[in-house]
Structure 1
């Protein structure tokens, strides 16, 4: 029996994908800001290419988006918006590959970075390469959305890489054709066949030698190294403290209450505290880590005054924020803002980061 979204290991979902979906909802008349806030997500934080959103929150947002928009084909619509640079280091590595086959090999290895719990397995039969997509958890009603975005997104990205839709490419899908699909079929530039036993991209093996338009060997090597490091880090970040931190990082209002974070992760407050303690962490420590990072970013990159920053970080006034910042860094916010770019953290910052 496969785990469900709420019980599986939560590796998070890149925030930028939810930002794209929110923008898409806006174009079809859905109040995406209200929907995000009801799920407890901060719309401004989703534009980051680095942050990841808790899978439970991502699942809730997508499910509500489908229901409130009345559009079960949102995954196909989102696929059109998936430009390669939005996929972080993986997108860069794919774009700088030499051939389409090299790009597909990278996607097969590093897909977990972008869509946790999906795997791609390559199988060759005759003159065809089958890239079979499977999932190790029960996605429930999200399954169709995820597969639509993944498979049709690959068609679009193949065209971005080679300059045109890959000749001979087709998609096969498990199960019967959904009722909504006939509305989208005329817009999809490749054959789509339902009733198969698996979900897959099928590509003539000769097409795997197609050159990529943006080939850059040096960039490909550095981007692949980034993907390897990100995959290692993601595996290490699979602990419970990292799951809690992801919720804190993208929460609205900020900082979130312990009770709401516990509810988001489907545990009791007592269990949340106990599991953090087992990893030598605490809820307040994680909140303060995120607060420090946000404070430093706001001081460096905005003209907000201390009262505005204090309010954004959930402090009653600038004085309370200033005291906390001095405790974390040994410097006042004003001094930090005016100082040259710093190359190393202070002992207090390192202590806060490590607990």
Structure 2
């Protein structure tokens, strides 16, 4: 598998998209959990709306999914499942916009939040507006999948937003029409033209004023603010330590060995240690941060026993977990759970293992 140039600035892919793809694989008879684990991803963690997967692992999973399923149209299948709420704050902002043009402007500005290695170039051509989708890196074998998911996803979501199709709108695709496309053409809501000069969504200029069915000015404003804050945080968290943490957060088995994390990020173990040290971080501290967060989630949000939580967190025995938890929080896991259940204000706030 070729490595995308954008991996050097890996902002991660929202895990929820891989979760939806995994569900698709299951529906066509593939053991999606086995495939995820072979890529080193924890199927359970992908359900979280806040988790991001390294783009290297996301690309590997998509590539293997296409090969092992024998279904080259997976990108179109995924596009049909991507309902707007799945896109987080950006989905809400788009849904609450006043017009289709407002919604597309938001997609153009904040696409990095959902697809970091894609960007949109908007240009007018005659009576039409072209929204060209550009790939900032080289997704390799997954390129067709990425463009299918993005462009056909836009077509499906446009119909969700306006309740109709915009007359004269169409999708442009570079290259010849793939052999599999005829199976999906009846389900595509607008015309698709292959052998085009660009990969683009084309909409007549007059159609951009089409009203959005879910328009809500107050919600639009608050969700745009969330998008802006999220974009600043995401691009501010572009350091190497954040990339390593993303690998740790989604790894199966957990916690990952340093060698596995280094291989996922296409660096040597020595380079990984050095680059973390340059950011005043260490691999073990990052593992412990994730372990603490998961421990708190499991203690307060589940009824798992202490031994079960110990196993999930990758400790050899409950005694080791208890010692680590007390070092981080000042109390034992049992006391933490009891205090949480009694009153959220009773237990001391957990400190980051890095500063504990």
TM-score scaled by length of structure 2: 0.95
**2: distance between equivalents of 1:205 and 1:342?**
56
Q: Which residue of 2 aligns with 1:49?
A: 49
Q: Which residue of 1 aligns with 2:226?
A: 226
Which 4+ stretches in 1 moved above 6 angstroms?
none
Q: Which residue of 2 aligns with 1:256?
A: 256
Q: Which residue of 1 aligns with 2:351?
A: 349
Q: Which residue of 1 aligns with 2:76?
A: 76
Shift of 1:343: 10
**2: distance between equivalents of 1:303 and 1:241?**
32
**1: distance between equivalents of 2:186 and 2:211?**
28
**1: distance between equivalents of 2:81 and 2:74?**
11
Summarize the Cα distance change of 1:214–1:344 in structure 2 as closer, same or farther, 3 Å threshold.
farther
**2: distance between equivalents of 1:238 and 1:345?**
31
Shift of 1:6: 7.4
Q: Secondary structure at the match of 1:151?
A: helix
**2: distance between equivalents of 1:285 and 1:155?**
44
Q: Which residue of 2 aligns with 1:63?
A: 63
- Cα root mean square deviation, aligned: 1.8
Which range moved further: 176-185 or 217-226? 176-185
Q: Structure 1, unaligned stretches of length 5 or more?
A: none
- Asked whether the 8 Å contact 1:6–1:266 carries over to 2, the reply is no
Q: Which residue of 2 aligns with 1:98?
A: 98
Q: Structure 2, unaligned stretches of length 5 or more?
A: none
Which range moved further: 310-319 or 65-74? 310-319
Summarize the Cα distance change of 1:44–1:132 in structure 2 as closer, same or farther, 3 Å threshold.
same
Q: Deviations over 1:296-339 (max 9, x none)?
A: 01111101111111111011222211111111011221222222
Q: Deviations over 1:130-163 (max 9, x none)?
A: 1111111111111110000000000111111111
**2: distance between equivalents of 1:43 and 1:153?**
24
Q: Where does 1:154-173 land on structure 2 (aligned, <5 Å)?
A: 154-173=154-173
TM-score scaled by length of structure 1: 0.95
Q: Where does 1:128-277 land on structure 2 (aligned, <5 Å)?
A: 128-277=128-277
Q: Which residue of 2 aligns with 1:329?
A: 329
